[in-house]
Amino acid sequence: MTAQPRVLLVEDEAELAAMLAGLLAEEGYVVDVAPDGHTGLHYGLSRRYDVAVLDRGLPAVEGLDLLARLRRTGITTPVLVLSALGNPADRVEGLDAGAEDYLAKPFDIDELLARIRALHRRHLDTARTLPVPGGALDLDTREVHTAAGPVSLSQREADLLTALAARPKQVFSRDDLLARCFPEAENPVVVDTYVHYLRRKLGRPVVDTIRGRGYRLGGP
Ligand code: CA
């Protein structure tokens, strides 16, 4: 079974948010609705999404500000911005802030759903980062983008974090991680050592120890 795609919807108009959430759920998405920018930022930083839909005019943290903050932490989730302002300059602002797509209110619901599907497909094709606690791991550069800036990992550290982050809910035994990430080593203590290195660089919550079973990517 493949996981259901997750959508973050940040929209302060309660009726519109409820209607969109209902339609997206019918299409098979798991939807989190945030009624203001602050909640949206919290969700966006702590959970992984396949697509985010952000209203521009939001209480607490304005939509484009929210988008810029997510992008600064390396989150590459495709974003569609909704706006009551439909002029071209406004659209350019949205795209400059890091949005993949932009739709002016009032919009056609079927068009919105089609664009969300397209963003999700594109994301599946191009995702070269993995979400990790506190940031995102860039698989090409071996850097973790965090709110405090990028953190460089060694090849071994990146291999271990990639294995854990690729299946964030799975508990891996030390022997399993040894075989995946350190095929030339024999003693699983090397896994413990590299977990220690990752925690030292990225903070203790980056990896959870599951007593008697092994390790798992840290939870949000
Ligand atoms: Ca609004």
The CATH number of the domain holding residue 39 is: 3.40.50.2300
From the CA of 134, how far away is ligand 1's center (Å)? 28
pLDDT attached to residue 194: 97
pLDDT attached to residue 3: 63
Give the pLDDT band (50/70/90) at residue 59. Answer: confident
From the CA of 13, how far away is ligand 1's center (Å)? 6
Residue 1 inside a domain? The answer is: no
Q: Specify whether the CB–CB gap between 172 and 188 falls below 8 A.
A: no
In 3D, which of 148, 158, 136, 147 has the Cα closest to residue 75?
136
In 3D, which of 34, 218, 15, 62 has the Cα closest to residue 130?
218
Domain edge (last residue) among 97, 127, 157: 127
From the CA of 41, how far away is ligand 1's center (Å)? 15
Claim: this prediction has a pTM higher than 0.85: no
Residue 33 inside a domain? The answer is: yes
Whole-angstrom distance, CA of residue 1 vs CA of residue 80:
27
Mean pLDDT of 17-38: 95
Residue 125 predicted with pLDDT over 70 = no
Residue 78 is inside which H or E element, if any?
none
Q: Which two tokens stand for residue 154?
A: 């060694």
pLDDT attached to residue 140: 77
Strands 135-138 and 143-146: antiparallel
pLDDT attached to residue 67: 94
Residues 17 and 121 in one domain: yes
From the CA of 96, how far away is ligand 1's center (Å)? 20
From the CA of 66, how far away is ligand 1's center (Å)? 13
| Residue numbers of the domain that contains 10 | 6-127
pLDDT attached to residue 176: 93
Whole-angstrom distance, CA of residue 63 vs CA of residue 112:
17
Residues 21 and 40 in one domain: yes
Residue 86 is inside which H or E element, if any?
none
Please tell me which residue, 15 or 130, carries the higher pLDDT value.
15
Scored b (16 or more CB within 10 A) or e, 129-154 reads bbbbbbbbbbbeebbbbbeeeebebe
Domain edge (last residue) among 112, 127, 142: 127
Mean pLDDT (the chain) is 90
Residue 1 predicted with pLDDT over 50 = no
Domain edge (last residue) among 127, 158, 184: 127
As for how many domains the chain has, the answer is 2
pLDDT exceeding 90 applies to what percent of the chain? 62
Residue 220 predicted with pLDDT over 80 = no
Please tell me which residue, 52 or 141, carries the higher pLDDT value.
52
pLDDT attached to residue 48: 84
Residues 107 and 158 in one domain: no
- Express each pLDDT in 146-194 by its tens digit: 888 899 999 999 999 999 998 899 999 999 999 989 988 999 999 999 9
Q: Specify whether the CB–CB gap between 80 and 119 falls below 8 A.
A: yes
